Amino acid sequence: MKNIFNQKGFTLIEMLIVLLIISVLILITVPNLTKHNDTVDDKGCEAYKKIVSSQVQLYKLENQKFPTIDQLVDGAYIEQPACPNGSHLSINTTTGEVTEVSGASSGS
């Protein structure tokens, strides 16, 4: 019987304290990760807009007019009309300028 009361191990209080510390660390790190994802998506969109702009110029050289975003997709110049952050792109068919349109469908 003496052996049962002399066992070593963690108490319930010690385990709860460790779980509390781990929970606090998770609560601190998760919001920071989501902020970084938004930043990465925004920078990815800027890079994608530059790629689309170069494809607009290539299309103009080959067809002597500025395309719509749908013409670039249909002609296999680009694969998708949207940025990584979900916002669609639009092309001004007069100037060839590529702009980001949040939450809207693709157009001229």
Model-level pTM? 0.62
| 4 in a structural domain | no
One-letter amino acid of 91 = I
Measured distance CA(23)–CA(17) in Å, rounded? 10
| 80 in a structural domain | yes
| 3 in a structural domain | no
Domain span holding position 23: 13-101
| 97 in a structural domain | yes
Using a 10 angstrom Cβ sphere, with 0-12 exposed, 13-18 middle and 19 or more buried, the burial of residue 6 is: exposed
Our count of domains for the chain comes to 1
| 37 in a structural domain | yes
| 25 in a structural domain | yes
| 107 in a structural domain | no
Show pLDDT as tens, one digit a residue, over the chain (108 residues). Answer: 555 666 677 788 989 999 999 999 998 888 877 777 778 888 888 999 999 999 999 999 999 999 999 999 999 899 888 888 888 999 998 999 999 887 544 444
Phi/psi region, residue 65 (left: phi>0; alpha: psi -120 to 50; beta: rest), is beta
User: Which sign does the torsion angle of CA 73, 100, 48, 57 carry?
Assistant: positive
| 74 in a structural domain | yes
